[in-house]
Amino acid sequence: MRYFVAVAEELHFGRAATRLHISQPPLSRAIKQLEAEVGALLFTRSPTGVMLTTVGSVLLDEARSLLDHADRVRVRVSAAAGVATLTVGILGDGTDPGVARLAAAFRRSHPGVDIRIRDADLTDPTCGLRAGLVDIALTRAPFDETALTVRALRTDPVGVVLRADDPLARRDGLRLAELDDRRWFQFPPGTDPEWQSYWNGGTPREGPVVRAVQECLQTVLWNGTVGLAPLGHDLPAELAVVPLVDMPPSRVVAVWNEGDTNPLIRSFVRTATAAYRR
C-alpha cells in the first residue's frame, strides 16, 4: 500500500522509486502484483508518467486511511510506554493557512501526541534537522538535500519586496536584471549556499546581513534594500511586493532525515500533503 500511495501521489514510477529509496523494477512488480490481486488496472501508463484509473482513485482513499490507521496503532503502542512526541521545525510564515490546516488535521488524528515547535531563523533552512533539534521541518527549498528526504507540498510565485514609495513598486512585474544596481539583504557566513543563491536571484549580491523574516522587512523599510519573498503574504502598508517574472517559484517542503522510520513522521507527511493540496 505504501508503494501504491507513492506512485499515486507522484504519478511517476521513477520519482516514486526515489521517494521510497528503492529501484524501479521491484516497485513496478509490486504494483502489477497489487493490480492482479485487485483484479483491475490501477494506473494508465504513458511515456511521461501515469494516471490513476477510477479503481485506483477509490483505492487511494482507502490506502491512505489504512496507512494512517496503522501508524496510529504504532503511535498508541509507543505512547503506552511513554509520551509520544514530535518536534516540528517551522521556517518562515507560521500564519500560512496550510500550516493551520495541517495542525488541525494532525491534532484530530493524533490527540495524544505532544507536538513541540521550533521556530527557525533564515540561517538554517532545515530548521535544526541535521543537528537533531527537530524530527521534521516545514520549510522552503532549495538547500543541500544530502542524507535528507524532501517532499514538495506547494509552489509559490516569488516577488521583490520594496518600499511602497519606490518607483519600481508601481510596476506590475519586474525582471531580476532590473534590480542589479540595488543592494540586497544577505544571510550570515556559513548559510547553505544553495539557499543563499536562490534568495539572491542566483547572483552574488551586496547588502546588510539578516537572520529573520522581520529583519528582512525592516531592512527594506529602513535602508531601501530589496529582497525576495513568496507572493500572497501580508505586508505592512509601507512595503510592496512586485512579481518577478523570471524567478523560479519557491517550493514549500516537508523534510526529514533519510531512513527515519518514525511512524509519526510518515503520518505527518501524509497529513501535510493533503493539507497543502487544498
- Domain-terminating residue out of 25, 54, 82: 82
Mean pLDDT, residues 6-27 taken together: 84
Q: How far apart are CA 253 and CA 141, in angstroms?
A: 7
Clarify whether residues 114 and 181 are in a common domain. no
Clarify whether residues 236 and 256 are in a common domain. no
| CATH code for position 13 | 1.10.10.10
pLDDT in tens, 50-64: 899 999 999 988 888
The number of domains in the chain is 3
Domain residue limits at 211:
158-247
| CATH code for position 278 | 3.40.190.10
- Asked whether the predicted pLDDT for residue 137 surpasses 70, the reply is yes
Clarify whether residues 162 and 241 are in a common domain. yes
Considering the entire predicted model, what is its pTM? 0.72
Q: How far apart are CA 121 and CA 210, in angstroms?
A: 9
Output the average pLDDT for the chain. Answer: 87
Clarify whether residues 258 and 125 are in a common domain. yes
Q: What is the DSSP letter of 180?
A: T
The predicted pLDDT at position 214 comes to 82
pLDDT in tens, 169-216: 999 999 999 999 999 988 888 889 999 999 998 888 889 998 888 888
Q: DSSP of 90-156, one letter per residue?
A: EES-TT-HHHHHHHHHHHHH-TT-EEEEEEE-TT-TTTTTTTTS-SEEEEEE-S--TTEEEEEEEEE
Clarify whether residues 255 and 230 are in a common domain. no
- Domain-terminating residue out of 50, 82, 114: 82
